[in-house]
A and B are shown apart, each in its own frame.
Chain A
Amino acid sequence: GENVEQHPSTLSVQEGDSAVIKCTYSDSASNYFPWYKQELGKRPQLIIDIRSNVGEKKDQRIAVTLNKTAKHFSLHITETQPEDSAVYFCAASMTLNTGGFKTIFGAGTRLFVKA
Chain B
Amino acid sequence: NAGVTQTPKFRVLKTGQSMTLLCAQDMNHEYMYWYRQDPGMGLRLIHYSVGEGTTAKGEVPDGYNVSRLKKQNFLLGLESAAPSQTSVYFCATLRPGRMNTEAFFGQGTRLTVV
Contacts and interface: CB of A to CB of B under 8 A. Distances in A.
Interface residues of B, number: 27
A99 B43 contact: no
Contact of B96 (A6, A101, A105): A101
B42 A6 contact: yes
B30 A100 contact: yes
B106 A107 contact: no
B103 A43 contact: no
Contacts, number: 65
B77 interface: no
Interface in A67-104: 89, 93, 96, 98-104
Interface string A58-73: 0000000000000000
A36 B104 CA distance: 11
Interface of B: 30-31, 33, 35, 40-45, 48, 50-51, 54, 58-59, 90, 94, 96, 100-103, 105-108
